[in-house]
Chains A and B, each alone.
Chain A
Amino acid sequence: MKEYIYYPGCSLKASSKHYEESLLPVFKELGEPLEEMEDWNCCGATAYFSVKEDMAAAICGRNLSLAEKAGKDILAPCAGCYLTMKKSNHFLSSDHEKALKILDDLKTVGCEYKGTVKVTHPLEYLTREFGLDKIREKVQRKLTNLKVASYYGCQLVRPYTDFDDPDYPVTLDHIMEALGAEPVEYSAKTRCCGGSLAGTVEEVGLALNYVLLKETKKKGADVIVTICPLCQFNLEINQDKIIKKYKDDVRMPILYFSQLMGLALGIPKEDLGFSRSIIPLKPMWEKLTNGGAK
């Protein structure tokens, strides 16, 4: 089995620091420490493909070639990076004349890419390769009593449905279950949070995220866990405005799955970026201390 190289992407170095701060210790605790790719560039996200397609694929090609040189596959925790690089990887391996030209250009600048790299998300790795049984064995502190709504968003399961269902995925729910938490069933698991639109056209962001908060609240969730920086951001950032606009108290902590995972693995909570939560976590801690013993 090939090893993975960690591709953080821009968000994990800025507004989603707590994703990286929790993911790295979790992988270390699992005995699979992650090494960051040297001099990676931004994947370009949805924006670059909206402006220049060839250039968008080329900059992803540079990252793919860096991984290939290291002899490793890419582990990309941001769902946006994951999809953008996967999409570019498909395109570059398509034998289309445009793709061949980009591969040539990559070669000219010293970034030859033969097409041997796989792009993986931590969720795929943990459920498909590492295994739920091994996660269960490593749990030090079960998250008993905690009702968790797993939110997958869109980019992870669509359009490439390699490891989970595009409409009703389950892998994150399975991880939460393995940690001893109680997964909440709800139908909006992959309904879009608005992506970069939520920040630019505020009324759209408020409406889409209200639907998600309302739905998970109705089903009794104590917390929403996410696997994507933009989902986490959109669900969390405008809760005050949403509550005011819809006159409905849908306040809900929005965490990264890795934060809860770290907690269950026995990593001190101070080391998992919980202090970066904008939403107060007190109700969640109370719930956990009441029933958190193994």
Chain B
Amino acid sequence: MEIQEKVKFEEELDHSFLDEIKEKSFSEEISRCIQCGTCSSSCPMVTYMDYPPRKIIAMVKHGFKDEVLKSFTPWLCASCYSCQVRCPSDIKITDIMYTLKREAIEAKVYPAKFPIPALAQEMHKLIAKNGRNSELWVVVNMYLRLKNPFGPLKMTSTGLNLMKTGRLSLKKEKIKNRKQLHKLLKAVSEGAK
């Protein structure tokens, strides 16, 4: 086992982290968290998380930037918004999880071997190129990105079932006016943070 520092000194925390996340997720309310744990108890994914949502909010508030951005929690958020609609302090917890995912990608500290960020990025690439998602190809690209040749084996029965019922499409879907889409995305990325 690797020895890790589990408690931090005040000086080791990043005190600008809270303001950064507040601004980027449009969530001033985050300071109002009373640590009631309604979010964690509403979360269908909490049993798989390294830090439950309640802890993530506390860690954001107190500047545990490294731990939060490296955590699996944002990537395990299924975006079901249970926590967000139930939060008594109206904290937009799901939206904050989205911000944390983007920040982790930007800081290149997200769990790169984990399939979920790989899927998100491959889907983004495919849509930006073709204007449409193609279910089969996004999965193929995800496994290529993960360099996991055995991954698709797990999905054999899925593939066969879809094929039998005529629901597996091999086609790469594309919109007609891709030029317009590419121009749009270029314009948005220029000047955007």
Residues of A within 8 A of B (CB): 10-11, 13-18, 39-42, 44-55, 58-59, 62, 96, 98, 101-102, 105-106, 108-111, 153-155, 158-159, 161, 166-167, 190-192, 194-197, 199-202, 204, 208, 237-238, 240-241, 275-278
Q: Pick 21 A–B contacts, CB within 8 A, sort by A.
A: A13-B173, A14-B167, A15-B168, A40-B175, A42-B127, A51-B102, A55-B128, A55-B188, A58-B188, A59-B181, A62-B184, A101-B192, A153-B80, A155-B79, A166-B85, A194-B44, A195-B79, A196-B119, A200-B142, A202-B154, A241-B157
Contact assessment for B105 and A275 in the assembled complex, using a CB-CB cutoff below 8 Å: no
B17 CB within 8 Å of chain A: no
- Can you list the 3 inter-chain pairs with the closest CB atoms, starting with the nearest? A158-B81, A154-B80, A192-B80
Contact assessment for A200 and B132 in the assembled complex, using a CB-CB cutoff below 8 Å: no
CA separation between A101 and B188, bound complex, in Å? 8
CA separation between A108 and B186, bound complex, in Å? 11
Contact assessment for A16 and B167 in the assembled complex, using a CB-CB cutoff below 8 Å: yes
Besides A44-B124, A110-B180, 11 other A-B contacts (C-beta < 8 A) = A10-B134, A14-B169, A15-B169, A40-B175, A47-B124, A52-B124, A154-B78, A155-B79, A192-B82, A201-B76, A204-B48
Q: Mark B162-182, 1 if CB is under 8 A from A, else 0.
A: 101111110001011100110
Contact assessment for B133 and A45 in the assembled complex, using a CB-CB cutoff below 8 Å: yes
Cβ–Cβ < 8 Å partners of A52 in chain B: 102, 124, 189
CA separation between A68 and B92, bound complex, in Å? 29
Residues of B within 8 A of A (CB): 26, 44-45, 48, 76, 78-82, 84-85, 92, 94, 98, 101-102, 105, 115-117, 119-121, 123-124, 127-128, 131-136, 139, 142, 154-155, 157-158, 161-162, 164-169, 173, 175-177, 180-181, 183-185, 187-189, 191-192
Contact assessment for A10 and B165 in the assembled complex, using a CB-CB cutoff below 8 Å: no
Supposing A58-B188, A158-B80 touch, asked if A50 and B165 sit within 8 A by C-beta, the answer is no
Which of B26, B121, B161, B173 is the one whose CB lies under 8 Å from A51? B121
Supposing A111-B180, A237-B161 touch, asked if A53 and B102 sit within 8 A by C-beta, the answer is yes
Determine the residue in chain B with the shortest Cβ distance to A98: B192
Determine the residue in chain A with the shortest Cβ distance to B155: A199
Cβ–Cβ < 8 Å partners of B135 in chain A: 10-11, 14-15
Distance in angstroms from A42 CB to nearest chain B CB is 5
Cβ–Cβ < 8 Å partners of A106 in chain B: 184
Supposing A14-B134, A51-B102, A54-B188 touch, asked if A197 and B76 sit within 8 A by C-beta, the answer is yes
CA separation between A169 and B158, bound complex, in Å? 31
Contact assessment for A159 and B81 in the assembled complex, using a CB-CB cutoff below 8 Å: yes
Cβ–Cβ < 8 Å partners of B45 in chain A: 192, 194, 197, 204
CA separation between A98 and B177, bound complex, in Å? 25
Which of A18, A45, A109 is packed against the most chain B CB atoms within 10 Å?
A: A109
Which of B116, B124, B173, B176 is the one whose CB lies under 8 Å from A48? B124
Determine the residue in chain A with the shortest Cβ distance to B43: A192
Distance in angstroms from B96 CB to nearest chain A CB is 12
Distance in angstroms from B139 CB to nearest chain A CB is 8
Supposing A48-B127, A159-B94, A204-B48 touch, asked if A39 and B85 sit within 8 A by C-beta, the answer is no
Contact assessment for A276 and B166 in the assembled complex, using a CB-CB cutoff below 8 Å: yes
Which of A46, A51, A58 is the one whose CB lies under 8 Å from B79? A46
Contact assessment for A10 and B173 in the assembled complex, using a CB-CB cutoff below 8 Å: yes
Which of B48, B98, B169, B184 is the one whose CB lies under 8 Å from A49? B98
CA separation between A40 and B173, bound complex, in Å? 11
Cβ–Cβ < 8 Å partners of A167 in chain B: 85
Contact assessment for A15 and B162 in the assembled complex, using a CB-CB cutoff below 8 Å: yes
Contact assessment for A42 and B132 in the assembled complex, using a CB-CB cutoff below 8 Å: yes
Which of A166, A208, A278 is the one whose CB lies under 8 Å from B44? A208
Contact assessment for B175 and A41 in the assembled complex, using a CB-CB cutoff below 8 Å: yes
Contact assessment for A197 and B81 in the assembled complex, using a CB-CB cutoff below 8 Å: no
Which of B78, B117, B134, B188 is the one whose CB lies under 8 Å from A105? B188
Cβ–Cβ < 8 Å partners of B133 in chain A: 10, 42, 45
CA separation between A47 and B118, bound complex, in Å? 10
CA separation between A241 and B160, bound complex, in Å? 14
